[in-house]
């Protein structure tokens, strides 16, 4: 499923909404998650999963093409942990 297919599915569920409204809602959804993560916060969507960020220490890396060493600075990276219901749904017993 890609973003445009998600938009189509939502439009079908909500015939009263205009296409641009559906698009704005989906933009708000992902923008708000992005903003909170950029602020260093957490996002918890029970049943689906939780987004957070983790610190990565600075390290010495190597350009795999040239073999040259490069300093990779410390940074924050996104992290996602699927929720219990999601995990169970992917593995029906």
Partner 1 sequence: MSRSVNTLTRADLAETINRKMGFSRAESLDLVESILAHMCDAMGDGENVKISGFGSFILRDKKERIGRNPKTGVEVPITPRRVMTFRASQLLKERIAKG
Residues contributing to the site for partner 1 (CB under 8 A):
1-3, 6, 9-10, 13-14, 21, 24-26, 28-30, 32-34, 36-49, 51, 53, 75-80, 82, 86-87, 89-91
Residue (62 or 78) nearer to partner 1, CB? 78
Closest separation in Å from C-beta 88 to partner 1 = 10
Q: How far apart are CA 2 and CA 7, in angstroms?
A: 9
Bridge partners of 51?
43, 80
Residue closest to 22 by CA, chosen among 36, 33, 6: 6
Phi, psi for 6 (deg, rounded to 5): -65, -45
Residue (67 or 77) nearer to partner 1, CB? 77
């Amino acid at each position: 499923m890609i973003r445009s297919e998600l938009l189509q599915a939502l439009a079908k569920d909500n015939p009263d909404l205009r296409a641009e409204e559906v698009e704005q809602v989906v933009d708000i959804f992902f923008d708000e998650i992005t903003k909170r993560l950029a602020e260093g916060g957490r996002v918890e969507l029970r049943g689906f999963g939780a987004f957070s960020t983790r610190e990565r220490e600075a390290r010495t890396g190597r350009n795999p093409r040239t073999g040259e060493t490069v300093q990779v600075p410390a940074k924050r990276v996104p992290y996602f942990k699927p929720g219990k219901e999601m995990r169970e749904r992917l593995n029906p017993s």
